[in-house]
Amino acid sequence: MEHPIALYVMIGCGAFLITFLLVPVFRELARKLDVVDRPGDARKVHHRVIPYLGGVPFYIAFLATVLFIAVLYPQYSQPFHYPMCLVGTLIVLMGLYDDICDMSSAKKLPIELALCALLFFWGFQVAEVAHPLGGTWHVGWLAFIITPIWIAGIINAVNFSDGLDGLAAGLVFICAAAIFAIAFMGGQIASCIMMAYLMGATLAFLRYNFNPASVFMGDTGALFLGFVLGASTLLEQQKGVATIALAVPMVVMAIPLVDTFLSFLRRVQRARQGRFFTPDRDHLHHRLLDLGLTQRQVVLSMYYLSICMGLMAFILSVAPPSFGFLILLLAGMAIFFGVLVLRFIEALGQRTAQGGEAGD
């Protein structure tokens, strides 16, 4: 199948331009409406008042992309575009409420799952799950449970990574680029289109959001980007060409997903004290900051790790299944040792600090 490269370029550039032009507009609107993030909370690392609403242009750029394809390139218009716009709108509304009124996770998570479950009925389904020795499992009715968990998992992974300037947008850009390359090799035009949009929009946003940030995407942007990314990984599956099984996006998204998983484990530990839905300051980027790295250093380190994972996912997608298992094993071991090394350095740091205090 021949790729419409000109269309990818136009979509990427269009999303870039719309986001680039609209972010300052919404930044001003956020200032006027006092929709801002104030420093003070221990989890927050910025020291100035920063406006939210930087994520609304993502949504507008997405609608414009869908309309552009439908009017000028109807041959590439897909039945899933409209459901994504509809559910995306609901997610943006929820994100706006969260940015202004601070919605608790206890309310947010069930709504996210319900909205993602809606997509199941439009054909977004995790029907096949890759198994480590090659091939896939057909999950049958379990697809109804796995699908919303998968999309909501990606949404939260992006949302949790939105803790430092440029981190969430940069990670989404890298993931989108990796999935674009994999989908391009597999001739999957629908995925390429979505990834071109994500790359354009996030790259433009980084102009304003990279350290020192002048605007935040807020939950509006993080939830929406996560939603588009999560739903897009199911596109080719719902079309019946399951070459991008879940293993590939899982490796691409490994860093934010592992962080989300570790956060979930911490929350389970806290659940006994009734604090499951209480956020903490133990995310990967927080812990790297605590080790003394600057915000830029942490963000660039996370970019680097994500690029490595993206490359690994690309190799996984082209490698024979027998090697695929080894690559997955390698990725798992790299993540495991990464976590161990981090804990070791943290422990060492604490011991040195205690030693210093004792010496004083």
Where are any strands of DSSP class E within the chain? 36-37, 50-51, 128-130, 136-138
Nearer to another protein, 100 or 225 (CB): 100
Cα-based distances in Å from 124 to 81, 93, 194, 259, 275 = 11, 21, 15, 25, 33
| Cα gap 14→167, rounded to integer Å | 23
Q: Which residues fall within 8 angstroms of residue 114, CB to CB, at 6 or more apart?
A: 148
Q: Is 33 in the site for another protein (CB under 8 A)?
A: yes
Nearer to another protein, 108 or 283 (CB): 108
Q: Is 349 in the site for another protein (CB under 8 A)?
A: no
Q: Is 215 in the site for another protein (CB under 8 A)?
A: no
3-state secondary structure of 217: coil
Per the DSSP assignment, residues forming a β-bridge with 128 are 138
Choose one: 61-69, 198-206, 255-263, 340-348; the region binding another protein (CB under 8 A). Answer: 61-69
What pairing do the DSSP bridges indicate for beta strands 36-37 and 50-51?
antiparallel
Per-residue interface string for the shown chain with another protein, residues 137-166, x marking contact by CB under 8 A = -x----------------------------
Q: How far is the CB of 60 from another protein (least distance, A)?
A: 6
Question: Contact with another protein (CB under 8 A): which of 17, 63, 111, 307?
Answer: 63
Nearer to another protein, 159 or 220 (CB): 220
| Cα gap 209→212, rounded to integer Å | 7
Q: How far is the CB of 29 from another protein (least distance, A)?
A: 8
- Asked if 283 and 157 touch (Cβ cutoff 8 Å), the reply is no
Nearer to another protein, 206 or 241 (CB): 241
Q: Is 82 in the site for another protein (CB under 8 A)?
A: yes
Nearer to another protein, 20 or 80 (CB): 80
Q: Which residues fall within 8 angstroms of residue 57, CB to CB, at 6 or more apart?
A: 18, 19, 22, 23, 26, 201, 205
Residue 279 φ then ψ, to 5° = -70, 160
Q: Is 326 in the site for another protein (CB under 8 A)?
A: no
Q: Is 34 in the site for another protein (CB under 8 A)?
A: yes
For residue 36, which of 24, 19, 48, 21 has the smallest C-alpha distance?
Answer: 48
For residue 223, which of 335, 94, 30, 131 has the smallest C-alpha distance?
Answer: 94
Q: How far is the CB of 267 from another protein (least distance, A)?
A: 26
Q: Is 192 in the site for another protein (CB under 8 A)?
A: no
Question: Based on the number of CB atoms within 10 Å of its own CB, is 329 exposed (0-12), middle (13-18) or buried (19 or more)?
Answer: exposed
Question: Contact with another protein (CB under 8 A): which of 17, 73, 83, 89?
Answer: 89
Please report, as residue ranges, which positions from 96 to 135 form the binding site for another protein (by CB under 8 A). Answer: 96-97, 100-101, 134-135
Cα-based distances in Å from 66 to 71, 72, 193, 279 = 9, 10, 10, 35
Q: Is 31 in the site for another protein (CB under 8 A)?
A: no
Question: Contact with another protein (CB under 8 A): which of 17, 45, 60, 334?
Answer: 60
Q: Is 211 in the site for another protein (CB under 8 A)?
A: no
Tokens of 152: 């909501």
Asked if the peptide bond before residue 51 counts as cis, ω within 30 degrees of 0, the response is: no
Per-residue interface string for the shown chain with another protein, residues 269-308, x marking contact by CB under 8 A = ----------------------------------------
Q: Is 191 in the site for another protein (CB under 8 A)?
A: no
Question: Contact with another protein (CB under 8 A): which of 23, 56, 204, 222?
Answer: 56
Choose one: 78-86, 207-215, 277-285, 337-345; the region binding another protein (CB under 8 A). Answer: 78-86
Q: Is 175 in the site for another protein (CB under 8 A)?
A: no
Q: Residue numbers of the site for another protein (CB under 8 A)?
A: 1, 33-35, 53, 56, 59-60, 63, 66-67, 70-71, 74-75, 77, 79, 82, 85, 89, 92-93, 96-97, 100-101, 134-135, 138, 239-243, 320-321
